Amino acid sequence: MDGIRGATFRPTATWRTLSKPFYWMPRWLEAFGDPFLIRSFNGDVIVGVRPEYIKTIFKGLPANYSPFGASAIKPLTGAASLFATQGAQHTRDRKLLMPPFHGDRMRAYSEVMRSCAEDVFRDLCGTPRSSFARAAERISLAVIIRAVFGVTDPEEERAFGSAILNFAKAFHPTFSFMEFLQRPWFPPWRRFVTMRARYGALMDDRIERVRRVGDADDILSMLVTAADEDGVSMTVDEIKSQLITILFAGYETTAITMSWMIGEIWRRDEVLKKIREEVDALDDDCPAIAYTKLPYLDAVIKETLRLHPIVTEILRKLNEPMQLGPHLLPKGKAVSASILLAHLDPERFPDPHTFRPERFLERKYGPFDYLPFGGGHRRCIGAAFSTFEMQISMGVLVRNYQVTLHDKQPPRPTRRNLAIAPDSPVHVTLRPR
């Protein structure tokens, strides 16, 4: 690690990384060079930005890495989560989880996604002043409950929605970065444990009922019946861990991106016009999946994820030494492929602070330049699911509604749990077109 400089005062560096990454990360890159060092409460992190560094990190053998801060996030997701496992266990579970998120299954989920979006936007229409951030959360939550958990009863859906929201709100980012706060003497931790237990009880009941009923089209049913090459199925605890992983990786993150996106679209007449031309060209009775085939809408989503990444870093702990360019990194340190800094690199993305979806129509970006869903052997398995939900929801919105934005200034990024979200509810009024 000789020659790698960085922010070395552990409490200050941790707090700045948590609270204002969009401010501090670019300044550290400018001051210390690439790669640079951050000393966090969970250990030293070497941050790489240039494509060759990110390629080295992503191409490393799975056995050479452990999840960074896995013990800190286990209270949220459970020990069996893809976020926490490694080696053969991670590979096995990933294989079991992949089928529901690919192929023909996505077509079935797309109709659920459209129904959820239509329900929420119809309910919002005409209200003088509403929170679009809350509306986007309602869509994502409904999609998770219906498509992932397989819940169709309205009363059960409301119970799950309440439990999930309370569970999510009770989680605080300090739990992940400062494990010593995971103690009964810390009031926010006590509340989190209570909300986790309430959600867990509902999920235990749901899994038991799915096992009694048998096969269905939802993701939970597919996980209950899935088995590995040796015929071994997931345990109840494993299923619950993976469902929480899907929940936190897919519910809030997708809603946050849509909250950023509505401002980017409705503050730019030319962007709104181009999306409308695409969605208006669709047949009135087109299947929901048709929204996922629109190139400009897809480019708008990609550009939103570039400028507003949900997480700023992809972290791995080294089980073996790593040669990162001229630097030999010792075992036990952590490496980070910086999503934030890669996406703001002017050599990859000229005029990087400008919202310009056309850049994604003009060229294709490689996995070491554009990485909103991570990369390597731990890339987000729900990337296609999340993208489908955004394409369909925003397509439905643009096609059917006029939107008035009430916030005079665009929102700024702020920390929400493990994600970076708008600091505003994004106040809107929806009216039929």
8 A C-beta contact, residue 70 and residue 43:
no
Cα–Cα–Cα angle for 23, 24, 26, rounded to 5 degrees: 85
Residue type, 40: S
pLDDT value of position 176: 64
Region 150-177: mean pLDDT is 84
Boundaries of domain holding 76: 6-432
What is the pLDDT at residue 244?
Answer: 83
Q: 401: buried, middle or exposed (CB in 10 Å: 19+, 13-18, 0-12)? A: middle
Question: Would the pLDDT of 241 be above 70?
Answer: yes
Indicate whether 123 belongs to any domain.
Answer: yes
> What's the Cα-to-Cα distance from 418 to each of 160, 248, 364, rounded to whole Å?
22, 9, 29
Greater model confidence, 21 or 230: 21
250 vs 412, higher pLDDT: 412
Is the pLDDT at 217 greater than 80? The verdict is no
Residue-level pLDDT at 267? 95
Q: What is the mean pLDDT of residues 405-418?
A: 88
Q: How confident is the model at residue 155 (pLDDT cuts 50, 70, 90)?
A: very high
**pLDDT confidence of residue 145:** 92
173 pLDDT band, cuts 50/70/90, is low
Among 104-113, 214-223, 408-417, whose mean pLDDT is lowest? 214-223
- Split into its structural domains, the chain has a count of 1
Angle (CA) 145-222-75 rounded to 5° is: 60
Distance between CA atoms of 197 and 210, rounded to whole angstroms? Answer: 20
Running DSSP on this structure, what letter comes out for residue 60? S
- Which residue shows structure tokens 């991570």? 374
| Amino acid at residue number 75 | P
What is the Cβ-side half-sphere exposure of residue 73, based on CA atoms within 13 angstroms? 20
Instruction: Kindly report the number of other CB atoms within 10 A of residue 159's CB atom.
Output: 16
Residue type at position 305: L
* Residue 200 near residue 134 (C-beta atoms within 8 A): no
| pLDDT classification of 342: cutoffs 50, 70, 90 | very high
Q: Which of 33-42, 319-328, 368-377 comes out lowest in average pLDDT?
A: 33-42
Peptide bond connecting 35 to the previous residue in cis, omega within 30 degrees of 0? yes
| Residue 1 located in a structural domain | no
In a domain, 388, yes or no: yes
Does pLDDT of 72 surpass 80?
A: no
Selected residue with higher pLDDT from 108 and 22: 22
Strands 65-67 and 313-318: antiparallel
C-alpha count within 13 angstroms, C-beta hemisphere, residue 22: 16
Nearest to 67 by CA among 88, 91, 84: 84
The angle formed by the CA atoms of residues 357, 420 and 121, to the nearest 5 degrees, is: 65
- Specify the higher pLDDT residue, 235 or 397: 397
Tell me the pTM.
0.92
How far apart are alpha carbons 360 and 354 in whole angstroms? 13
Q: Residue 103: its pLDDT value, please?
A: 67
Q: What is the mean pLDDT of residues 304-314?
A: 95
Residue 196: inside a domain: yes
Q: What is the pLDDT of residues 88-145, one digit of tens each?
A: 888 888 888 887 777 677 788 999 999 999 999 999 998 999 999 999 999 999 999 9
Q: What value does the CA radius of gyration of the chain take, rounded to a whole number of Å?
A: 21
Quote the pLDDT of residue 413.
93
CATH number at residue 180: 1.10.630.10
pLDDT of residue 186: 87
The Cα–Cα gap between 154 and 119 comes to 13
pLDDT one-digit tens code per residue, 57-66: 999 988 888 8
pLDDT band at residue 295 under the 50/70/90 scheme = very high
pLDDT beyond 80 at 415:
yes
Residues 189 and 187: their CA atoms lie apart, in Å, by 5
Average pLDDT on 261-289 reads 96
How far apart, in whole angstroms, are the C-alpha atoms of residue 34 and residue 17? 17
Residue 160 counted as domain residue: yes
Q: Is the pLDDT score of 410 beyond 90?
A: yes
